[in-house]
Amino acid sequence: MLSPHLSFFKALAMKKIPERGSALIQNASLYCEKNKIRKENKTPRLSLVDLILLA
């Protein structure tokens, strides 16, 4: 599940750059999946800034 600030960025991305917005959504879901794995491994998480830079 996306956190509120991530869904804000998702909406912003869809409004400003629709073709890039879907890539951001994919990155966000990938980010959430990685965080689930990392929580199990107890390694440091990516920050929101890292997520935006990956987009």
For 35-49, how does the pLDDT look when each residue is reduced to its tens digit (9 = 90+)? 666 666 555 566 667
Structurally, the chain folds into a number of domains equal to: 1
The Cα diameter of the chain in Å comes to 36
Q: Residue 18 pLDDT > 60, yes or no?
A: no
CA distances from 25 to 4, 18, 21, 41, 43 (A): 13, 11, 6, 24, 23
Question: Which of the two residues, 40 and 8, has the higher pLDDT score?
Answer: 8
Task: Give the 3-state secondary structure of residue 35.
Answer: helix
Determine the pLDDT at residue 33.
Answer: 73
24 close to 53: Cβ distance less than 8 angstroms:
no
Determine the pLDDT at residue 31.
Answer: 74
Q: Structural domain of residue 13, as residue ranges?
A: 4-54
Determine the pLDDT at residue 17.
Answer: 55
